[in-house]
Amino acid sequence: MSLVPIIITNFTSGELSPRLAGRVDVSKYFNGCQALENFLVQPHGGVTRRSGMRFVARAARDAGPSLLVPYEDATGVGWVLEFAQSETGTGVLRFFSDGGRVLDAAGAPMELTTPYLAGHLDGLCWVQDRYALILTHEAFAPRKLSRTDNGGFALAELTLTARPEKWDEGDWPALCCLHEDRLVFAATPSEPFGIWLSRTGDHQDFRLSTREVPLDDWDDFEITDSNGDSLSDGRPGDTIALLAGDSFLKDSAVSGAMADGTLCYYRYKGARSVKASTTAGVRITLVETPTAAAQLESVRDASGKLREDFWLMYAIGDRIAADPGDDPLDDDAVELTLSAPRGGRIRFLAPRDRLWVGSTSGEWTVSGSSVNTPITPSGVKANREGTYGSARVRPCQAGASLLYVQRSGKKIREMAYRLASDSYTSQDLTLLAAHLGEPGVTQLALTQEPDPMLFCVRADGVLLALTYLPEQDVCAFSRITTDGAVESVCAVFNPAACRDELWLATRRETVVDGKTVTRRFIEILDPPFPETATDTRGAFFVDAGMSYEGEPVSGLSGLSHLAGRTVRVLADGAELPPRVVDANGCITLDRPASTVHAGLGYASTLTPMRLEFSGQRGSAQTRNKRIIEVGLRLYRTLGGKVGPDAAHLQPLLYRTSADVMDGPPALFTGDKSVRFPQGWSPDGLLTIIQDQPLPMTVLLIAPTLALNE
């Protein structure tokens, strides 16, 4: 028998697929895990226990899901918008910020009625346009959520200068984004590969061919002040001079000045006409009711009001529809249809250096016809970049890459430009963890502070966490599980804390009067355990949890959302025995405490891959072996257990004679060595579990193997 020391220095491969259990020839094998649950992989290499989910409010309806949408106001504060179907059967929109509900000017929770019911939430798309939110769904005309003067919001149908004729009731664009200062819509039910881009700078103008005021063919007619009011605004008595051979009739235009002196143009739409002879000019008089040949209806009445029955007013630079046959301007709206070789539809739009488009049949880029040129009506090019196909999941932009879900819903791909191939390609980020994609990813959310991390909602309510730092070759998945299911997530920035917050819509079950009852909550993933904490008083490692901080109390109330549930409790940094929340939402403490956290417990599990050592006598795989000792390098940790499997665990002990007897031990940073009994086997497995509401960070694992010669 020989003793072999092994060292695992990092976990930057995350949880790996069971199919890799034999690939000890792959370098990522040694940094991977068989199971990594409720731990988050740090970019530096270690793993840290994920924080708890803090309860914010009951969701809009227990009987149906909610959709969480991010919004950022002018001050940079992140808001969370909850779209749901209310208990009365109507669509409802609720607002959250700064860890709670947002109140309106009257002090009541802010709410709006929407047309979007529970069955519409999966198909809802949005884009923030300055401080408004544009919303699209194929069953409804596009809508605009805008701010009001009193600090609230208003939801109304988006007013368009002109809309494509193909858009109609029940046949509206399903997708939207902003690109090159154009509002982009795409994918109506009847035109699933259609893309419409607004005019540059005017996101409500979708006219395909316009002309700019003043038009080149407009004659140089001017209003002359002839009524003595010192204004050339076209009131009764003002005149228009025609030269010999000129005519003034319907659609003719004349320039004048408004009362503030601003120059504008007026286009005549009446039925009268005045023509000068070929030898002499004529002066047209503007009157209220023309009776003579050289008279026209005045532009304005005597009070200065525009007479809209006879005149149209334009500011310089305004657009009007072009005549048939006229070429569109470069900044006019654009309409195109991708020539997909197979059926399906467009699934996402992503504005990058080009407009990236994902469809069920492949990936595209849409750009100007020449290098580094914008999209114009006469210069647009669509390139097909891939054939993987996309699911109906909103993608996330991470640096120079785009993270999206493949058509099956089971793979997450990274689309990026590759200099080596001079093309846009999509690599599979789930290749080494293919099992995690089952039973399908339904939503993505990306946080960038404090660490770049992609959160993926699965159809079964499990939340995947992908630590994503490609420049450091870090791409590591872990699973976040909870007593219930996660149904929706979104990330918003909290400027006060200088970090991104992950908000969650969860579904949990409890038993009331002997019956299982579903409850839905809005929660926030608490920030990582702070580096500045000197003890565990602030450790929040419970789900659907709440906290109390103040004068010592002997009980905790406010847990009515967990009535009937068994909760874990941390009081003044020490764990108390689990207890059941009574019908009033209260629990009793063993002794008074000034800082209390209570909520649903969860376990964090770390199981590395089968241990491997290649020596002179070959690999350790399939050979009988025994782990006789495990060394752990921990950082700011309390609690936890280690053993050969979940059924045979040894607790990690921290209390010393220097610790105060009535308080918890101090946070531990350093090395712990544990010897545990294990029989001989060919597996070579070990497991670390933390199921106490306390922090744990594992930086290194150093087991010692006994190999049978």
Per-residue pLDDT of 608-654, as tens digits, reads 999 887 766 678 888 888 888 999 999 999 999 999 888 889 999 98
Mean of all residue pLDDT scores within the chain: 93
Asked if 441 contacts 412 with a C-beta cutoff of 8 angstroms, the reply is: yes
Check whether 661 has a pLDDT greater than 70: no
What integer pLDDT is reported at residue 680 of this predicted model?
Answer: 83
Res. 180: pLDDT tops 70: yes
pLDDT classification of 3: cutoffs 50, 70, 90:
confident
For 82-102, what is each residue's pLDDT tens digit? 999 999 999 999 999 999 999
Other C-beta atoms closer than 10 Å to the C-beta of 156 total: 9
CA distance 249 to 649: 95
The bridge status of strand 485-494 relative to strand 474-480 is unpaired
Tens-place pLDDT, residues 369-428: 988 899 999 999 999 999 999 999 999 999 889 999 999 999 999 999 888 888 899 999
Share of the chain above pLDDT 90, in %: 78
Residue 324 predicted with pLDDT over 90 = no
Looking at the predicted structure, is the pLDDT value of residue 705 above 90?
A: no
Among residues 261, 241, 266, which one has the least CA distance to residue 251?
266
| Per-residue confidence (pLDDT) for residue 127, from 0 to 100 | 97
CB 532 within 8 Å of CB 539: no
**Preceding amide of 214 cis, omega within 30:** yes
- pLDDT of 486 above 70: yes
Q: What is the pTM of this model?
A: 0.90
Cβ contact 55:561 at 8 Å: yes
At 617 the pLDDT is: 67
> Does the pLDDT of residue 691 top 70, yes or no?
yes
Q: Which of 133-142, 160-169, 187-196 has the lowest mean pLDDT?
A: 160-169
CA 392 – CA 117 distance, rounded (Å): 18
pLDDT digits (tens, 9 = 90+) for 37-62: 999 999 999 999 999 999 999 999 99
- Report the alpha-carbon distance of residue 186 to residue 248 in Å, rounded: 43
List of residues 6+ apart from 340 with CB closer than 8 A? 193, 359, 361, 362
The answer to whether 155 and 133 are in contact (CB under 8 A) is no
- Residue 420: what are its φ and ψ, rounded to 5°? -60, -35
What contacts 246, CB < 8 A, 6 or more positions away?
Answer: 219, 221, 275, 276, 281
- The region, left, alpha or beta by phi > 0 then psi within -120 to 50, assigned to residue 416 is beta
Residue 4 host element (H or E): strand 2-5
List, for residues 417-474, the tens digit of each pLDDT value. Answer: 888 888 899 999 999 999 999 999 999 999 999 999 999 999 999 999 999 998 888 9
Residue-level pLDDT at 660? 67
Is the confidence at residue 709, as pLDDT, over 80? no
Mean pLDDT confidence for 342-350: 92
Position 659 scores a pLDDT of 67
- Cβ atoms < 10 Å from Cβ of 72: 14
> What string of H, E and C letters represents the secondary structure of 403-469?
EEEECCCCCEEEEEEECCCCEEEEEECCHHHHHHHCCCEEEEEEECCCCCEEEEEECCCCEEEEEEE
| Residue that is written with structure tokens 């009987």 in the block | 63
Instruction: Give pLDDT, residue 288.
Output: 94
